[in-house]
Each structure stands twice: as structure tokens, then as C-alpha cells.
Structure 1
């Protein structure tokens, strides 16, 4: 004769087991989302940087902010050398507004025509045939991606995920050799911190420091921010009186 067997399970034990199972499911789902977004795909740092720069340059448009300060004995001056916000639309449309050397400035570049706004009168002044957005004198303000043309990057480190403005970004630190000789004419020993999107590796933020070749206590500090990639941005020539 077969006897019935009853298994008595403690209710508290069941609840603990179910809680652990639910936690494992949540962790697995979260890991899957991270992998699909690219966070878990640990590319080598050089590949992350190269991929990010290529995708950034290939963007049809983006907005940016640039702050440039002179430094002395490792400390930034309290006054901004320049602080601007701008928009770029491929291949050659630029709009920028901000302050340079404590002076308000507003600029538009459309093809080979440049336009400056005269602040006292509010009128736009045309400079036909001048493509100032490619001028070395205004790289940070008009063409911040020019700082990311590297000959090579002999020192590059992956520093993990860094929370910036509530968002987790990939942080890289590097000491590159720049392609443009103008950028190394007066400055040397460039050090970059670069924050990349974990989704597509495009640039989100960057902090650059360089030392003055002829004044060991002086240098420059540039902070950049990029957003609104591939948005519908319209830049048109202003009305010139």
C-alpha cells in the first residue's frame, strides 16, 4: 500500500526564494539592456576613441558649448577668456553666440560667407569669401572638433563609467599628439579627459589642458560639451543692412 507523502514548506522560505528569483530576473534584464546599448561591449580604449570620433565627425549636425580659460600655476583665471554656445550643420554651416575677452560676440558662417553682428547697432556685417570657421584662431569657438585630429595617442586609459549630470558616460584619459602644428606652436603637453556616450561612443564632453612652452607656470584649459546630434538645425545667412 502506497502512503501519501506531504512536504511542508515554510512560508517565509518560499517568500525569500521568490524574492531572490525576481532579483536574478531583474539583474539579467538589466545586463541585457546594457549589452544592447554597448556598455557591456568592452572595446579596447583605442577602438572606443576611434569609433566615437568617426561617428561624431559623421554627424549631420550638433550643438556645442565651449569655455576657454587661461591658467596660471595650475589655476584657471576667474574671468573667462571665452564662453560660447554654437551649432554646426554639415558641411559648412555654423552659428555661434557668446562672450570673448569680455566682449559679446555673435557669428554665422554659411558656405564661404562670414557674418559678424555689430553689438552696439545690432546690425550684421558681411565678410564675403572668408571662412573663419576653419581659422586656427577660433577653433574652440567655431570648430571644436579640430582639437581631435590626432597624429597618434601614445597614452590612453579607460577610466570606467563616470556619472555626469545624472548620466553615465565612458571616461577616457589621454595624452595625444595633435595633427595641426598651429595648436602646438605655443602650447605643449596636452592632456585630455573625454566622455563618450555608451550607446554610440560619440563625444559628449571633453576637458583639455595644455602648458605654455615659454611660461612653465601658464597654460590653457578648454571645456567642451556636445549634444543634439543629427537634429534638424537650420542656419541661414542673416539680413545685412
Structure 2
């Protein structure tokens, strides 16, 4: 009887210790100040001259979803390369210095435009330089909404409603919500989801999902052969 009582007491003690240890570990791992973390992560991302990304953009109009773009891209200094689909049209574009190389989807031949620079093209800015979407006048009050795994990376998930600093976005969209997946190990941006409502068409929404890789890892983008 005494042995059973002792075994029961030890079992209860073990559960309490493990529970307390688990709570402490969870508290340590999740303890984060969302506001300063978002500012740190965005400053690091906006400094990056080199990175790769995948982007998916769609509109929702009266409950019907329409794909705007599905693109993979890479940026190396002032040069970039994007490949994918925009508004149902295949695109494969290189910008190398002041030369634009564009693959004609019909002939599959490369068209070369001398003295041309697409980096300032507002309509396709999200596809050409997605970090332009992460400049804010104010970030509001970021909140930690969870912890998720993106591939092998454990990420904080932080959400906020900022005031954007982007003339094109401001002209057409409002009520922005940003959700960021931030690598807990190196404090780098792994993924972002942006949603907004159209100013001129209530009930119409934009959804933008961007996945980032290889921040600050130098690589060269060469012209197509």
C-alpha cells in the first residue's frame, strides 16, 4: 500500500515538474515584443540587395476569385529576373543594367530593349520588387498570433494593420492587413500575406502571398542565352 502511495505521489510530482518545465519553455520560446521585432525584420529586408522570392496575387470580387499573377523572381542589385504568369499571360523577363530581355510567349524568342528600365513600372511593382510593399508610414500595433513551421523553419506569426507608404497601393486599396512569418532563429522574413479592400468597389479584395529566400546572399543574374 505504501509503495502504491509513493508511486502515485512520484507520478503526480513528475507530471507537475514536466508541466511546469513545458510551460516555462513555451513562455521563453514565445516571448517576443512584436512591434520592435517587426521593425527590425523590415529594416533588414529593405536593406537587402540580393534575395529570391515567390509571389501569388489574386483578386476577390463578389466572392469570385481571379488570379492576377503567379511569379518566381530574384533580385541582384539593380538587376532582376521574373518568370511566371501575369493576367493569364506567360512572362519571362530579365533586367540587366539598362537592357530589358523579354521572351515572346508566341515565338519564344527574346526581345531586347536597349536603354530600358522596368524597375520603376508601378503596375507590376509587386512582381518586380515585392519589398516595395513593405514601406509604411505607421505599422500600427503588431500582435503575435501564433507560431508555425514553414518548411524546416520555426516562425513567429505576427499580424498588424499599417498605413502603407506606396502611392499606387494607396490610390486603389484600403484597410490593409499584413501577416508576417518571421524565422525565430535569424529574425528574417520568411513569408508575408497582404490583404486589402478596393477603395472604389466595396466587397472587392486583394490577396498577396510572398515567400522570401536567400536574403543578402550574393549571386549574379546573367542575360538569357
Fold shared by both chains (TM-score > 0.5) = yes
Give the structure 2 partner of residue 49 of structure 1.
Answer: 38
Q: Is the 8 A contact 1:69 1:76 kept in 2?
A: no
Give the structure 1 partner of residue 72 of structure 2.
Answer: 85
1:233 partner SS: coil
Computing the radius of gyration from Cα coordinates, the structure with the larger value is 1
1:191 aligns with 2:180: no
Structure 1 unaligned spans of 5+: 1-9
Q: Is the 8 A contact 1:84 1:99 kept in 2?
A: yes
Q: Is the 8 A contact 2:41 2:188 kept in 1?
A: yes
Q: Choose from 31, 52, 64 the match for 1:63.
A: 52
Q: Is the 8 A contact 2:196 2:206 kept in 1?
A: yes
> Aligned pairs, how many?
216
Structure 2 unaligned spans of 5+: none
Stretch of structure 1 that moved more, 183-192 or 123-132:
123-132
Give the structure 1 partner of residue 114 of structure 2.
Answer: 128
Root mean square deviation, CA, Å: 3.0
Residues 118-139 of structure 1, C-alpha deviation per residue, up to 9 Å, x if partnerless? 1222221122233212321112
1:178 aligns with 2:178: no
Q: Is the 8 A contact 1:196 1:202 kept in 2?
A: yes
Q: CA separation in 2, counterparts of 1:152 and 1:47?
A: 13
1:55 partner SS: helix
Q: CA separation in 2, counterparts of 1:193 and 1:108?
A: 30
1:80 partner SS: strand
TM-score (norm 1): 0.77
TM-aligned CA deviation for residue 111 of structure 1? 2.2
